[in-house]
Amino acid sequence: MIEIVSGNEVLPIDDSIANTRWGMSLKRVVSRLELLMLRYYKRNPLEQAGLRVVSDVYARESAMHSILFGGNSATLFSPGELLNLWNQARIMSEHGGAFAEVGAFKGDSAEVACRAKGDRQFYIFEAFDGLAPVDAIDPRFKQGAFASQKRDLCRRLESYPNTTIIAGYFPDTAGPVLQEKFSYVHLDVDLYQATREALTFFYPRMLRGGRIISHDYGHCSGVWQAVDEFFANKPEVLEPVGVSQVIVIKQ
């Protein structure tokens, strides 16, 4: 749910509005304002390099009129979230191990990681048919939401070395990486069951010091329940970041 603060009162924007053309238009405006703010405050050359990558992603965002009248969506990540992913991928680029992402949608987060990973092997898992069947833990979502086209994602990422796109629902598609070790894993799967299954697969395959980053931890009940339950008996400390991300560093 999106919230707007007015004085001391919090005014909620219902989930049923957030994914409409009006909600997406508001998302575009808010993200552009955040990007301007980051450009003003981030003065050091390292973060400016990351912001150039993030700005390139937003340069591809649909125009306002195509969101309002053409049915297109805004960039679903905020500029701060994409900048954090770029930083985490940059930190892990020399750590060893492979990179992975589950839930790429149109490729914004994957491209940001590609721009920071160097020659590191990167496996990108995307169903393309949208979300899997939804249970009672995730009532805000519908099966088939966020469907996308494989050819578009392949075209977007084809110039980056050692980048492999694997179609289908994870972990049914995990066969090619059963023997891999990982240093960077980004999860953006929205749902409880998908999050639990991805954590169960990747956690024992993480190198010490590797990072698991999950999107939607801040506001999707299935995601935060899955993450909290999974790490309840683990030594790692959950580090919420920004509005909706959480980072776990493998011990």
pLDDT given at position 5: 41
Whether residues 191 and 221 fall in one domain: yes
Whether residues 114 and 49 fall in one domain: no
pLDDT tens digits, 115-150: 999 999 999 999 999 999 888 888 888 898 888 999
Question: Looking at the 3D structure of the chain, how many domains does it have?
Answer: 2
Whether residues 145 and 238 fall in one domain: yes
Whether residues 18 and 119 fall in one domain: no
What is the mean pLDDT of the segment spanning 25-31? 85
Instruction: Determine if the pTM surpasses 0.85.
Output: yes
pLDDT tens digits, 47-79: 999 999 999 999 987 677 676 666 677 688 999
In whole angstroms, what is the distance from residue 27 CA to residue 132 CA? Answer: 25
Whether residues 88 and 197 fall in one domain: yes
pLDDT given at position 16: 53
What range defines the domain where residue 211 resides?
A: 77-251
Contact at 8 Å (CB) between 120 and 93? yes
Whether residues 114 and 222 fall in one domain: yes
Query: How would you classify residue 136: left for phi > 0, otherwise alpha for psi between -120 and 50, otherwise beta?
Result: alpha
Contact at 8 Å (CB) between 128 and 86? no
Whether residues 163 and 186 fall in one domain: yes
Whether residues 205 and 128 fall in one domain: yes
In whole angstroms, what is the distance from residue 40 CA to residue 36 CA? Answer: 6
Whether residues 47 and 126 fall in one domain: no
Phi, psi dihedrals of residue 195, rounded to the nearest 5°: -65, -45
What is the mean pLDDT of the segment spanning 7-21? 52
Whether residues 60 and 82 fall in one domain: no
Contact at 8 Å (CB) between 197 and 170? yes
Place of tokens 């010091």: 209
DSSP designation for 7: T
pLDDT given at position 3: 42
pLDDT tens digits, 168-208: 999 999 999 999 999 999 999 999 999 999 999 999 999 99
Whether residues 214 and 110 fall in one domain: yes
Mean of all residue pLDDT scores within the chain: 89
